[in-house]
Amino acid sequence: MRRVCRWESGQQALDLEQGIDRMAGILSKIGTTMEMIKWEHSIFALPFAVTAMLLAAGGWPGWRKLALILVAMVAARSAAMAFNRWADAELDAENPRTRSRAIPAGLLSKSFVLGFTCVAIAVFLAAAAGLNRLSLELAPVALAVLLGYSYLKRVTRWSHLGLGLALGLAPAAAWIAVRGSLDARILVLTAAVTLWAGGFDVLYSCQDYEHDRKAGLHSLPQASGVQAAFWTARAMHLAMLGLLVWFGFLFGFGLAGWLGVVAVGVLLAYEHSIVSPRDLRRLNAAFFTMNGVIAMVFLGFVTADLWMKRG
């Protein structure tokens, strides 16, 4: 009897140890997945979505609405990024810059990443359903843009605008989430974000100029050269500023709102000053760090503008 009890105790300890190991493995995979999709970069489009939310509500929309919008935005972006890594796994393995990513490096399997994508899509749809009927009805359209972007560089040099639109949908989606309808004025902000994100994707893809030419992938740098790509990105960002000015007039910006537009212009100028066709070393700082700052600064000034008007 004692031997049986000792055996059962030993088996239970072994089962517990194996369970802990499995849990640790799952947590490790989740951590690797979060690193792979750069979830912290959700801050790129999210502040513009919150800006649209505040304008649609004329102030504070309530905690429930905010929570559902945040969940929907983060889940949608997570699905898009994970799907992109799944779709580009073979391409990433051939590119010296990207072959250390999770799937090519063997840290995650394609099936696991696809499963994560499906979970993120389910969370997004659930959040959309919790917002209103139109949000749920348009959710498949948003997913088509978010997931379809991954294949655009196989067919067109203008794939950068596909990425831009994927981020640019955020303010329009947030407006619909609050109002249950679409106002054409918010599409001006959608266009501005599209050009903003698309312009920096043009710059970011300059890193892959040689690889894209060899792999037969399409991009503006690959099609027209790095120098011309820089000028195109600058033109897109100037157009973005023009759209923000138009947006400010449409929504009757006060002093704080106009200062936000000016601040975006100054920050964009700084970003372009630290990179050049001959020196891409600071591209990550321009692309990742400063873009998050731009989005947050614009949100901060528009929020202050709304508060001053209500006061």
pLDDT digits (tens, 9 = 90+) for 28-70: 667 777 676 665 566 778 999 999 999 999 999 999 999 999 9
Q: Of the segments 107-121, 154-168, 196-210, 246-260, which one has the largest average pLDDT value?
A: 246-260
Does position 9 have pLDDT exceeding 60, yes or no?
no
Does position 76 have pLDDT exceeding 60, yes or no?
yes
Q: Which residues pair with 279 in a beta bridge?
A: 276
Q: What is the pLDDT of residue 23?
A: 59
Q: What CATH architecture does domain 44-310 belong to?
A: Orthogonal Bundle (1.10)
Does position 267 have pLDDT exceeding 90, yes or no?
yes
Q: How far apart are CA 194 and CA 172, in angstroms?
A: 12
pLDDT digits (tens, 9 = 90+) for 116-129: 999 999 999 999 99
269: confidence class by pLDDT, cuts 50, 70, 90: very high
Domain boundaries defined on the chain: 44-310
Phi, psi (degrees; rounded to nearest 5) at 99: -70, -10
Please report how the helices 186-204 and 159-179 are oriented relative to each other, as an axis angle in degrees rounded to 10: 150
Does position 20 have pLDDT exceeding 80, yes or no?
no
Buried/exposed code over 19-30 (b: 16+ C-beta within 10 A; e: otherwise): eeeeeeeeeebe
Lowest mean pLDDT of 124-133, 175-184, 241-250, 283-292, name the range.
Answer: 283-292
Does position 17 have pLDDT exceeding 60, yes or no?
no
